[in-house]
Amino acid sequence: MEYYVELVMVHPATKPAASRLDSLQRNYAQIETTAMLQAIIQREFSGRVAVVSSFGAESAVLLHLVSKIDPTTPVLFLNTGKLFGETLRYRDRLQDLLGLTDLRAIGPHPADREARDPEGSLWSTNPDACCNFRKTVPLARAMEGFDAWITGRKRFQTDNRAGMESIEMVGKRYRINPLAGWTPADLDHYMLEHHLPPHPLVRDGYLSIGCMSCTSRVQDGEDARSGRWRGQDKTECGIHTNGFTDGDGI
């Protein structure tokens, strides 16, 4: 009697989440950044991955890497209504320079603004709640339809980020941190090598740039994110710590 074994090819998206995460980490976490991004964008999550970018101090590096692989990759930009004018102009400049064809500016719903922050001053009394409706909620809506998102987070930025993996599972989505192991020197070298323009506020001492109301200059000897929510027990907006479930922003 002869036995036949039917081989069934399993598409990556159909694998159990834990098994797929293990496979992604094993295959890509230690390889060169461009190769990792190429695999994530073109093979593993083709048509189901977005970049989330603040167009802040170091954003040009990740956006340039992605644009060289596929400039049609969706880029989600959170326009909170509290950003520096320099950030909005920098966004437009990079979009044009890098040829990004699917830049999506998202923000809080007008009804949420009216109900939660009619005076626009919530940041001064409850920054967590402000981040929540201006960032977490809009981004959660925008991420519907995507299985993974690419961030520009690095381990050197804060103690909370020091132990993060290059590929993680947060909630029901995969979070890809291709620059996790990059150093400030790596970023500076890449910017110079590829003639990328810095955010105009960097030369004025703003090394991590978010909303105007919650961003200040960084002093000598401070880490890059010390200018965010200065004087408060807050180092993260919240999206990166709760996976969109009930958090307080990016």
Angle at Cα 142 formed by Cα 138 and Cα 146, nearest 5°?
145
Spatial distance between the Cα atoms of 76 and 115, rounded to a whole number of angstroms: 25
- Of the listed ranges 16-20, 21-25, 46-50, 206-210, the least confidently predicted one is 16-20
Q: Is 246 exposed, middle or buried (0-12, 13-18, 19+ CB in 10 A)?
A: exposed
Query: What is the pLDDT, as a whole number, of residue 50?
Result: 98
Look at the block and give the residue holding tokens 């961003």.
215
> What is the 8-class DSSP label of residue 228?
B
For the record, the structure tokens of 208 come out as 């991590």
> What is the 8-class DSSP label of residue 211?
B
Query: What is the pLDDT, as a whole number, of residue 15?
Result: 58
Query: Does the pLDDT value for residue 51 go beyond 50?
Result: yes
Query: Does the pLDDT value for residue 231 go beyond 80?
Result: no
Instruction: Write down the catalytic residue from 130, 131, 214, 237.
Output: 237
pLDDT band at 8 (very low <50, low <70, confident <90, very high): very low
**237 assigned to active site:** yes
pLDDT tens, position by position, 109-167: 999 999 999 999 998 899 889 999 999 999 999 999 999 999 999 998 877 788 889 99
More confident residue, 140 or 12: 140
Query: Does the pLDDT value for residue 246 go beyond 50?
Result: no
Query: What is the pLDDT, as a whole number, of residue 234?
Result: 60
Query: What is the pLDDT, as a whole number, of residue 233?
Result: 62
Query: What is the pLDDT, as a whole number, of residue 12?
Result: 53
pTM metric for this prediction: 0.84
Query: Does the pLDDT value for residue 13 go beyond 70?
Result: no
Domains and CATH numbers, the chain: 33-242 (3.40.50.620)
